[in-house]
Structure 1
Amino acid sequence: MIEWVPTADGVAAVGRNGSVRLARTDWERTPPALPLPYPSDAGIAGRLTALELDAPAHPDGLPTDGYVPDGEHVVAVGRDDDLEAAVRFEGPARVATAADSTRLAFPEPSPVAVGVRDAPPAPETIPVPRTPAGVAAAVGVAGGRLPDGPERSFPPERPHPPLVEYDDVPAPGTGERAVRFAVPDDLDHVLVAAPLAYYLGADLTVGADAPLLSVPETGFEYAFGSLPTFASEVADALRRVVHLDRCARAVEAERLDPGPLAGLGLDPAAVRGVPPATRYATFLDADLDALPDWHLSTYVEAGYERARALPALLDRLSLVYPAEATEMSPRDLLSASLDDFYRGAVSISPLAPELGVGDAHAWLADGEVVDAFKTTPRAFENARSRRDRGDALSVAVVLNDPAMDDELAVADAYRDRAGAVPLSVEVHESLATDDLAAVLERPTDFVHYVGHCEAAGLECPDGYLSADSLDRSGARAFFLNACGSYREGEALVERGSVAGAVTLEKVLNEQAAKVGTAFGRLVVAGFSVERALSLARRRIMMGRDYAAVGDATARVAPSVGERGVLVVEETTRDGYAVRYDAAPNGGGSYRDPFTGDRRPRGEPSRATLDRAAMRAFLDGRAVPVRFDGDLRWPEEVAGTLDRVRGVRQSVRRP
């Protein structure tokens, strides 16, 4: 979890394990000319004449103080148990190292790619009784480890909550807490209350007739309604306190608009100076006109095995709702009338969940759903254990349907990404069952399968491969672009994968190729599995036939810079009315690309750009663009702008 924040002379990468400051001279953002050092969780790329990092260099063969000749080099920096960073650059350059800094200087502006990696320690495990009180106590322990100030709204400042292990032991004590949250003695109420109780650092207890949050020292009480209203009220309260904390926090050079606080008669410095209980009693008693979009909501069917996923949900600061859904007919999916054109024959009966707020939605319950990704406790366990990576992002493309060879273009899309991330791409065609099993079982970052799926498994020339037959799934993430591949995707997650994209129903070949190519490009560009699929499936009418499984908040590849989407909302006489969406992430902020100001993630920025300004905006950015109802990339949009200009000039000629 890396956040980029500005500094007086550059930028800082902030993670749970610390931060690294990058002082930059003559900085210019450009498309990546060099691949990020790998493995990385995030990175930036551009040109500059000097770069100084506030961390010592690791011994790597470079001179500790001297001249580096022509050629490509990598220097790694970092302290013990700290955030790690590495810089890939082209010489000649001068390197100067000290006990607490590393400096690179170039004779002229030169390309660099900086990658950062945060490897937080494994969270501890605490034993709790298999009761609502036990789960509530685990939430209290986790919340007690957050910082006191509003900086707890900054994602890297929140340590991973302890994992839960059920045992015949007394519930752990949390001591006297200034904020108390009492709920009825059942697991449904505990799970729904958990995110708010965790963030407030409250003592969460069971046995109340109705949910009540109180701050005894101030006399403040906040009474909630019964389920399901309780879930919506908790969601509103959590969104409110996180947003106001974000406006008050003191993160270097962030300078968020204090307007929401000023509207309540509050000063950020004064807010930072009061105890958390007083701060939150004030926030919860306030009315706000609008709140930024929230990043994630999870719909949980109460059960103690599913409650084992709660630490992961708290870590992501997901809202929690009860899992409620209605059945959908094939006609609801707009598929019944198109059967003759579909490939494959496997289908399921999806459910339509009743969704609350959230940019993304996770389904932690039985059944298969549309508009939400299906997750399990095993998926989060896999996400914690899949940290080791090789020197390059490994991608395997499997084409087991010759009629779908158009989708082999995705291999080129992956290779095109090699300018930003070291990438190895293997392409396999017409794999037999044993060979496909070998590809799926060996450690790989991403497997993209194109073909058919039947009830017996993924189709091969010599039969069918069921994911249930694998010893393990070595693919960290996957895309099974085959009709009705949902069950096979679930099996891959249970055998070791973190997340993947699948189909709920039968899909047309042409549409499958569109989604597959777009998804592949997005996922290796640093988008999460869920967000990549959400964007990719907009390309086709039958987008709801695609879904994600596992921990779909996971990313396959590091992002370069701040990841966002440009939406062209309207073409006007003055140019283009555009919106920039930076995905919300539970308290982060981003740099408004139009004004340079910092904005809360989940709050879009808007501007009107003429053709020249649009070209300038797209230059050097790898941002996907929603333009004329389709998903495009900057070079495609630039070509469209040039054609429009040419047409207009020809029309004006006498």
Structure 2
Amino acid sequence: MRGVSEFGAALKTASPERTFPTLRGYPPEIQIGSELDIPQGPQRPETGVTLRLPRTVETVFAAAPLAYFLGAEIEPGRPPRLELDGDRTVPIDSFGATTPEALHRLLIHTFTLDCVARTEGQYPMELSARRTIEAAGVRLDWEAIYEKPLADRLAAFLSVDLQTVEAAAPDWRLTADIPETDDSGPLLPHLANELADIRTYPADHYPSESRERASTGQPSVSEQVNDATDTLLRGTDPRPPGGEPGAVNDRVPRSVEDASATPDVFRIRHADSILQVYAGNGVPIGANKITEESYLRHLSETPDETAALRVVVVCNDTEMLAEASVEEIYSSAPLLSVTGELRTNLTVDSLRDLLQSDIDLIHYIGHVSERGLSCADGHLDIGDLDAVSAQLFILNGCRSFRQGEKLVENGALAGVGTLQNVNNQVATEMGKKIAQLLQHGWPLAGALSLLRFDAIAGQEYTVLGDGTAELVSADSGVPACCLVEPTPDGEYRISIDTYLTRVRHLGTIFRPSFGEDDVYHLAGGEVSQWVADETELRELFERENAPVQLRRERSSTKLSLRWSHDLAEDMSPLSDGLTERMSPSSPLSDSSSKETTETD
């Protein structure tokens, strides 16, 4: 409890301006030991806020982000309560069905209202959240509240209805599921920094919706379709012994070694946030997997802003060369120096040397099995490497999750891997779209989050390591996607879906370049809506090249993500029926992709 209480020492101010991410600071590192040791002594600011909570791992972990944001001291006590300046007490459980839920809702409440209060300070602006709250009938003297000490502001905020504030709050960025053990303690400062909703789970269970494995052992419709059409999958060994490349009749049962290539998959429990992360064993569907090491690695980075970015695309199968054009995508980053290289049919030694050289991103295209990444003369198992120098990676092959985990364990910052077998044509499209999003400033987790909304196939991909890692920064500061919906009268309803990053996360403001130019929004989720005719929409598309989705195509079976500059030249997809982006004979797959054989 005392260790988590020190998180508030990172705050650069106790004023409402600490809602800006640059004024919060990074909480101090935690190490598990036999006794408390704070090398420089307690540094927590005296905010007059105390959280009295049960001495349980679940409760203390859930309280970490709130204690950090409020500069609060955590003390043992029952029932759970909030004490302000020692003379005002508020029951915490009144804010939610459980204590962890109540702590998170209290964080959303106080954070959002402090964002509104800061409009009376050094950065006056017209904030949409304030409009929403005042439209609901809330009348507070914001100027007076801004000047109050933190505990007094908090007391004033508690007079406002929670649901009213939640309607004005940004979409929360992150939910984290971590084991309910002391060993998870070192993750707390990193998750508190992101103001995450921290949920714990028993170490001997997965945090799934029903604690059942996602796989039932029964073939899905997608598997049966793939089997019937004999779709080429990247899990198929390109040259089975004694047969032609990819020949169906030459498939053989998987060996015992290959049987272990199927990771222990489960579907993560639902969360009301843009992104979910998970720490622990197994493979979560719907969440990115994190480790303390990847967070620490990111913190220790000292990037050279003047150096050219080096991106290497490796294609180790000639049948997959269509995706190799991503090298041109990376090299076309505007106003940036990006060196894109394409390597084909690398040997084991060549790929090993490449991974151990200074590379900002390696994009691997090819077959992946339990033995490793397929090479011209065998397989490279990442676990055999002493270290990896490549910072980011994309392993676009079947079931590449385990090899991706080994890359992070051996030194990579973060990357993208697959959970199941993936259709070859789908993988090509996914690889290109991930490359486009990274090139436009989307972090790894943001790119995957957007593609998961776009199509079922996005569920097959996951981020390993620190998902806030990015290749470049977005031109607009905050990565954003334009959602378009035609109206019956021939106009278009437009909204901007924003995504928070490591630097520009909760508290960041966003102002669209179109629509109500004088209104600012709290970035995170859909922040603005307006109606435009075709001429106005084309003008918007011409201003900046950003991803665009038609609302009717979201979460469909086809990858539908488009780019605004392309639509500015051809607006027909907006008025046509659902535009087929891929051949109807090549359906996208989710976790039910056709299983294929791999040979020794």
Structure 1 residue 645: Cα displacement: 9.7
Q: Which amino acid in the other structure matches residue 397 of structure 1? A: V
1:156 and 2:156 are equivalent in the alignment: no
Match of 2:214 in 1: 328
Higher mean displacement: 533-542 or 266-275? 533-542
Structure 1 residue 370: Cα displacement: 1.0
1:243 and 2:243 are equivalent in the alignment: no
Contact 2:493 2:529 in 1 (8 A): yes
1:318 and 2:196 are equivalent in the alignment: yes
1:407 and 2:277 are equivalent in the alignment: no
Structure 1 residue 298: Cα displacement: 1.0
Match of 2:523 in 1: 601
Output the CA distance in 2 between the equivalents of 1:395 and 1:531. 19
Deviations 1:398-433 (A, max 9, x none): 00121111101211211222x232110111001111
**Any idea what SS the aligned residue of 2:398 has?**
coil
CA 1:431–1:606: 2 relative to 1, 3 Å: same
Deviations 1:531-567 (A, max 9, x none): 1122235554432111111111221212212321101
Match of 1:543 in 2: 458
Task: Work out which of the residue numbers 164, 177, 180 in structure 2 matches 1:299.
Answer: 177
**Any idea what SS the aligned residue of 1:163 has?**
coil
Q: Which amino acid in the other structure matches residue 298 of structure 1? A: A
Q: Which amino acid in the other structure matches residue 461 of structure 2? A: Y
**Any idea what SS the aligned residue of 1:444 has?**
coil
Match of 1:344 in 2: 235
Output the CA distance in 1 between the equivalents of 2:353 and 2:222. 34
Match of 1:165 in 2: 31
Contact 1:443 1:474 in 2 (8 A): yes
Match of 2:470 in 1: 555
TM-score (norm 2): 0.80
TM-score (norm 1): 0.73
Q: Which amino acid in the other structure matches residue 140 of structure 1? A: S
Match of 1:481 in 2: 396
Deviations 1:215-256 (A, max 9, x none): 254523123279982222222111111111111113435432
1:634 and 2:564 are equivalent in the alignment: yes
Contact 1:137 1:171 in 2 (8 A): no
Match of 1:613 in 2: 536
Contact 2:95 2:102 in 1 (8 A): no
Match of 1:142 in 2: 7
Output the CA distance in 1 between the equivalents of 2:401 and 2:23. 36
Gaps of 5+ in 2: 202-206, 237-260, 554-559, 577-600
Output the CA distance in 2 between the equivalents of 1:251 and 1:367. 47
Task: Work out which of the residue numbers 408, 421, 425 in structure 2 matches 1:506.
Answer: 421
Contact 1:261 1:268 in 2 (8 A): no
Output the CA distance in 1 between the equivalents of 2:510 and 2:219. 38
Output the CA distance in 1 between the equivalents of 2:45 and 2:143. 29
Q: Which amino acid in the other structure matches residue 138 of structure 1? A: G
**Any idea what SS the aligned residue of 1:507 has?**
coil
Larger strand proportion, structure 1 or 2? Answer: 1
Contact 1:306 1:376 in 2 (8 A): no
CA 1:396–1:317: 2 relative to 1, 3 Å: same
CA 1:176–1:635: 2 relative to 1, 3 Å: closer
Match of 2:311 in 1: 395
Number of equivalenced pairs: 509
Match of 2:498 in 1: 582
Contact 1:333 1:544 in 2 (8 A): no
Gaps of 5+ in 1: 1-135, 647-654
Contact 2:8 2:68 in 1 (8 A): yes
Match of 2:123 in 1: 252
| CA RMSD, Structure 1 to Structure 2 (Å) | 2.5
Contact 1:218 1:278 in 2 (8 A): no
Structure 1 residue 528: Cα displacement: 0.8
Match of 1:231 in 2: 100
Output the CA distance in 2 between the equivalents of 1:242 and 1:576. 33
Paired-residue identity, %? 28
**Any idea what SS the aligned residue of 1:300 has?**
strand
CA 1:394–1:565: 2 relative to 1, 3 Å: same
CA 1:617–1:227: 2 relative to 1, 3 Å: closer
Match of 1:112 in 2: none
Task: Work out which of the residue numbers 335, 347, 371 in structure 2 matches 1:432.
Answer: 347
CA 1:643–1:302: 2 relative to 1, 3 Å: closer
Q: Which amino acid in the other structure matches residue 436 of structure 2? A: R
Contact 1:578 1:608 in 2 (8 A): yes
Contact 1:193 1:234 in 2 (8 A): yes
Higher relative contact order (CA 8 A, sep 6+): 2
Contact 2:363 2:395 in 1 (8 A): yes
Task: Work out which of the residue numbers 62, 74, 86 in structure 2 matches 1:192.
Answer: 62
1:203 and 2:118 are equivalent in the alignment: no
Match of 2:151 in 1: 277
Match of 1:367 in 2: 282
1:459 and 2:374 are equivalent in the alignment: yes
